[in-house]
Amino acid sequence: MCYTISSMRQGDTHIEHGARTDVAMATMVAHELKSPLALIRHLSQEIQHDLTHSPDQISLIHEQITLTSERLLRLVQNITTAETLNQELFQLEPINPLAVCEDVLHEIQPLYRAQGRDIIVKKRRKIPLILANRDLLHRVVSHFADNALKYTPKGSTVYIGLQQQANKRVRIAVRDFGPGVDAHVVRSVQEGRCIKFIPRRPDSNGLGLYIAGQFADCMDAQLGVSTHRDGASFYIDSMESNQLSLI
Amino acid sequence: MKKVIIIDDDAWMRESVARYLTTHADLQCIEASNCIDALDILNEQQHVPDCILLDIFLPGYNAFTFINELRSHHDFASIPIILWTSHVEGIKDVSLGAYGIVSVINKTTMTNTTVYQAICEAIHNESN
C-alpha cells in the first residue's frame, strides 16, 4: 500500500482510507523501531548476565546502548513532530545552512566513530543564507546522516555537502557509499510519494524519507536523491534568503 | 573447533553474539556485514563452516538470494543455516525447508544461550 504525501496531508476525511493509512503508518513505525530496540535489549542482557567482561568491554557496551537509544529517540521525536506538524509553529527565517550541518555533525559524529566510520562537512564556496526552519532542517539532515551510516562500509567517510544551485536554491546533500537506489525510488522521492520498500536497501521502509518529505514541504523545500556507481546522495534544496540583498 | 559465520549488517549485534560464542562456547566466529562479503569469506576459507547465522534484511543481496547462491555451490550446499531476524512475522509464508533453513531465531526475544543452543542443534543434526 502506498499513499502520496499530499493525499495524507490534506486530511482525507474518508474514514476507511484514514484507518488504513493509520495502520500502514503504525506498521512502518513498528518496523523501524524493532531492530534498535532488539539491540538495546540484547546488549543490556549481555551486561547483566555475562560476568566475564572487563571494565573496558562493559564501558563499550554501555556506550553502544546509549548511542542506539539516542538514535531511537531522534526517530521517535521526528515521528511525533511530523504528526503534529503545523506550519504556523515552524516559522521560516534566514539561517546559515553550514551552521546547521555542523550542528548535525557534532551530534552524530560519536555514533559514526563508535561504528568505525567518519562524517565530514564539505562546502565548495561561500554558501548564502537560506530561508528555512532551523529545527526542521536539522532533523532532515540528521535523518540523511543517520541513514547514510547504515549503508556505508566500515572505514568509509560520509560527506555532507553544501552547494549553491542555479535556481536560487541551496542544496544540502548527504553522500553515502552503500548500494545505490533504483530509478523508481529516485522518481518517488522527487514526486513526494511515500515508499514502502527500497530495493537493495531492504532495511529502509521509507518512513524516514516520508517524514523528511513532510518537513521539507513545510519549508517549501524539495527532497531528492541521486544515485552513484558506489552509493547515493540524498539532498534537500532550500530557498536562498533575500536578506542580504535588502541591505 | 567448530566454525560459524555470522552475517548481519548490525555490527554491534553481530559482535555481541560473536563475543559470547567465542568466549563461552568455544566456537570460532567469522563475521560479515553483507552477503557479498560472506561469499568472499566462504571462497577464501580452507574449511567449510559448520553453520551460518543469517539475517534476512541485508544491503545488496537479501538472505534468500544468498542461500540460492550458496546452494548452487557443491561445497557449501549442505551447510545448515539459521535465520535470525526481528521480523519473524514477515517470513511465516516462506517455505523454509526448501531453502535448507534449520531454524529461525527471533532477535526481539533471543538470548545468547538460545543462539548457542540453535547452533549446537544445527551442527549436531548435520553431523548425524
| Closest Cα in chain A, distance from residue B6 (Å) | 15
Instruction: Measure CB to CB from residue A31 to each of B87, B107, B110 and give the nearest one.
Output: B87
- Does residue B91 or residue B118 have the better pLDDT? B118
pLDDT at residue A159, rounded to an integer = 93
Q: Read out DSSP for A95-150?
A: E-HHHHHHHHHHHHHHHHHHTT-EEEEEESSPPPPEEE-HHHHHHHHHHHHHHHHH
Residue A212 one-letter amino acid: A
Among A41-45, A100-104, A125-129, A157-161, the minimum mean pLDDT is found in A125-129
- Does residue B127 or residue A51 have the better pLDDT? A51
| Closest Cα in chain B, distance from residue A55 (Å) | 15
- Grid cell in block for residue A139: 532533523
Cα separation, B52 vs B80, in Å, equals 6
The answer to whether residue A140 scores a pLDDT higher than 90 is: yes
The answer to whether residue A157 scores a pLDDT higher than 50 is: yes
CB within 8 Å of chain A, chain B residues 92-121: 107-108, 110-112
The answer to whether residue A153 scores a pLDDT higher than 50 is: yes
Q: Grade residue A14 by pLDDT with cuts at 50, 70 and 90.
A: very low
Among A229-233, A238-242, A243-247, B41-45, the minimum mean pLDDT is found in A243-247
- Does residue A247 or residue A158 have the better pLDDT? A158
Q: Grade residue B58 by pLDDT with cuts at 50, 70 and 90.
A: confident
Interchain proximity B16–A42, CB inside 8 Å:
yes
Cα separation, A189 vs A183, in Å, equals 10
- Does residue A22 or residue A190 have the better pLDDT? A22
Burial of B20 (0-12, 13-18, 19+ CB in 10 A): buried
Which whole number is the average pLDDT over A82-95? 77
Residue of B nearest to A181 (CA): B60
CA end-to-end distance (rounded Å), chain A: 50
pLDDT at residue A200, rounded to an integer = 52
Residue of A nearest to B114 (CA): A42
Q: Which of B15, B90, B61 is nearest to A34 (CA)?
A: B90
Spatial contact of A162 and A168, defined as CB atoms under 8 Å apart: no
> Pairing relation of β-strands A93-95 and A130-132?
antiparallel
**Is any Cβ of chain B less than 8 angstroms from the Cβ of A115?**
yes
Which whole number is the average pLDDT over A206-224? 86
ipTM metric: 0.87
The answer to whether residue B101 scores a pLDDT higher than 60 is: yes
**Is any Cβ of chain B less than 8 angstroms from the Cβ of A49?**
yes
**Phi-psi category of residue A36: left, alpha or beta, with phi > 0 → left and psi -120 to 50 → alpha:** alpha
- Grid cell in block for residue A68: 542506539
H/E segment holding residue B3 = strand B3-7
Q: Grade residue A244 by pLDDT with cuts at 50, 70 and 90.
A: low
Spatial contact of B116 and B53, defined as CB atoms under 8 Å apart: no
- What are the helix (H) ranges across B25-110? 35-44, 63-71
Is B105 in a helix, a strand, or coil? strand
pLDDT at residue A97, rounded to an integer = 95
The answer to whether residue A2 scores a pLDDT higher than 60 is: no
Burial of A80 (0-12, 13-18, 19+ CB in 10 A): exposed
Strand order through the sheet with B101-106? B28-32, B3-7, B51-55, B81-85, B101-106
Cα separation, A68 vs A48, in Å, equals 18
The answer to whether residue A74 scores a pLDDT higher than 60 is: yes
The answer to whether residue A7 scores a pLDDT higher than 50 is: no
Instruction: Measure CB to CB from residue B12 to each of A43, A178, A179 and give the nearest one.
Output: A43
Instruction: Measure CB to CB from residue B57 to each of A50, A115, A203 and give the nearest one.
Output: A203
Q: What is the pLDDT of residues B13-54, one digit of tens each?
A: 999 999 999 988 889 999 999 898 999 999 887 778 999 999
Cα separation, A3 vs B118, in Å, equals 41
> Among all chains, which residue has been given the C-alpha cell 540460492?
B68
A-B CB pairs within 8 A amount to 64
Output b/e per residue, A180-211; b: 16+ Cβ within 10 A.
bbeeebbebbeebbbbbebebbbbbbbbbbbb
> Pairing relation of β-strands A118-123 and B51-55?
unpaired
**Is any Cβ of chain B less than 8 angstroms from the Cβ of A26?**
no
The answer to whether residue A67 scores a pLDDT higher than 70 is: yes
pLDDT at residue A3, rounded to an integer = 33
Q: What is the pLDDT of residues B64-77, one digit of tens each?
A: 889 988 888 888 88
Q: Grade residue B60 by pLDDT with cuts at 50, 70 and 90.
A: confident
The pair phi, psi for residue B72, each rounded to 5°, is: -80, -5
Which whole number is the average pLDDT over A184-201? 58
Q: What average pLDDT does chain A have? A: 81
pLDDT at residue A230, rounded to an integer = 82
Which whole number is the average pLDDT over A101-128? 91
Cα separation, B96 vs B94, in Å, equals 6
Q: Within its chain, how far is the Cα of A194 from the centroid?
A: 14
The answer to whether residue A136 scores a pLDDT higher than 50 is: yes
Mutate to test the interface with B, among A35, A49, A63, A64 (most CBs of B within 10 A): A35
